[in-house]
Structure 1
Amino acid sequence: MARGEWGHNGRCSYKRTTIVVCSFNIVVALYVLQSLYTSLYMYPFSDSQTTFKYTANQIRKMEESNQIRRASEPTELIKLVSQLKKKFTSEERVLELPQSLKHKLINEILDRLRSLDAAANATTQREAIDSWRKKKLKEAKKLLRGKTLNSTILPEEAGVVAKALSSDWAELSEEIGLWVPVEIINKEHDDKPEGEEDFDEEILPGRKLPPECHAELHTDYDGAAVRWGLTHHKESAYDCCVACLDQAKRAKPGEMKCNIWVYCPSETGCYSPDIYEHKNQECWLKYSEKPKLNFKDTYSESYRGSHPKAPVVVPWVSGVVSV
């Protein structure tokens, strides 16, 4: 009988506990919902209302700070820099050589080179281009003075052409690939022995190449790479040729022996139709059973049409050595 009363009271106590816990959870849930509702009411998602309002004193201090900042700005200097920028930009726009005009000059240079004998050397080519440049420069100056000429240069192009062929000639010739070897003439004395011929041949910088190098200016020979030029640099064409000769002497049986050397003497790098950027002093050692040319003297007009980055003149120096 006592066990029955205790069991009944135990069940009642359990029910009361459950009701109390549930009631507490409901109260907490209602409190959380009220808090969320209050937050949404106080901070609505609207661009027209802000979550924080500055006091009048804070706004006044911010305005004073902005006034001080504006007063401390070097307005005169900023204005002067802006004017200079506009001036330089307009000058560059006026003096820039249009692409169509650049192509016209390049085609005239090519026509001048084509008119030369096939056996013309680099010195002859340089003299021909220099003669053409002086002639065109004279025409441009006459057009600037208002004279009427039968010229390929239009009167409105005269100023740009004159600048391109005078003060900007070095940059223009480099851009279109007119690399010319440096002339180095070493004389012990100014008095020349009787019967000695004048030495006016242009040579590459560095030591004079031996006859077995068979150096050819503005030439690029094909062949299998014995030594990868991208990671093989030499101070001069002489050193590149000697490296080829040395490799051929040291090559083991069955290994390719270098019989072609290709060197980049241009300080701005040398063009090639591959994906690599070829830099000054690259020295390629190659082998070919029957050496054949990739390019010689100039890139053809049709080739430059399909390869817009190609310059006019081949920048490489090559040679097929005797081994």
Structure 2
Amino acid sequence: MARGVARAVSFGRRATTGWCSYRRVTVAVCIGNLVAVLLVLRSLTAPASFAPTAPNRGEVVQYTEEQIRWVEESIRIRREAEPVELVLAVKKLRKKLAQEVKRREELSLVLKQKVYYDIARGLHELGDNSSLAQQREVVESWRVEKLKNSASTRNQSSLDLSSEETRMLKQALEFNWHMLLEDIGLWIPDEVTHTVHDDKPENEPEEEEIVAGPPLSPQCNAELHTDYDGAAVRWGLTHHKESAADCCQACLDQAKNAKPGELKCNIWVYCPSEFGCFSPDKYEHKHQECWLKQADHPKLNFKDKYSEPYRDAHPTAPVVVPWMSGVIGA
């Protein structure tokens, strides 16, 4: 009986020892598989960690004589292919354009308006019956006089300019006179004979053009596709009206309320086009601009269509005059 019990105990120990050994092997295999999976995942998500290490910064890379010759040849070919003269010409042109833009921006809008009003006053004293040559002579005489008196107080008092504004105006009169004329919108046209050819068949009714806004008063004497000349009473760049009727009314109100000695508006010029209106000056004249002008004897700048010689000289000019105008009391 005792021997049987001993055998059973011994058999149980061997079984237990074998079971423990099998479990350990299984656990070891699972851990190995888990480590392998983790390594694979790491290699997929961070391949740079397995990349070969870069050489030390202090390490000197040795090139062969042939490789060095190739590099030198490549540098020589690239330098010979560079358009050196073109690059220098572009740099000079950019510098020149930057200087011109700077000179244009130096004169403020208020100073340009003062110059315009002073020149317009001289043209007004000349009279509307003067020739274009006489008008050019007056403008050039004004320029010469301002250049001579640029350092005196008389020049400053006539335009009410500060010393800095006087210096800037003198520089513009010397180097950018034509640009200044364009900036202030002063343009004296050449005398061109324009003949209107009417090819419309007889008895064909005129197509009535519709103007947006309320109807205009008869005293406005509105004329489509017309631009009248005159001394500016109100600068149109900063004076916009909702309609041509409002622009005409603004002219009537200004003439009614003008103080003694002030110019009284008798010409209104309006831009009815949503795309803006062309003008030979440098400004972008936008929709609803309303210019109030004065002239004892109003003269036409443009009527109906721009002439072919004018459009040849101004490629951006349209065929039809976009402005509409009216002479009060005409």
Common fold: TM-score over 0.5: no
TM-score normalised by the chain length of structure 2: 0.39
Larger Rg: 2
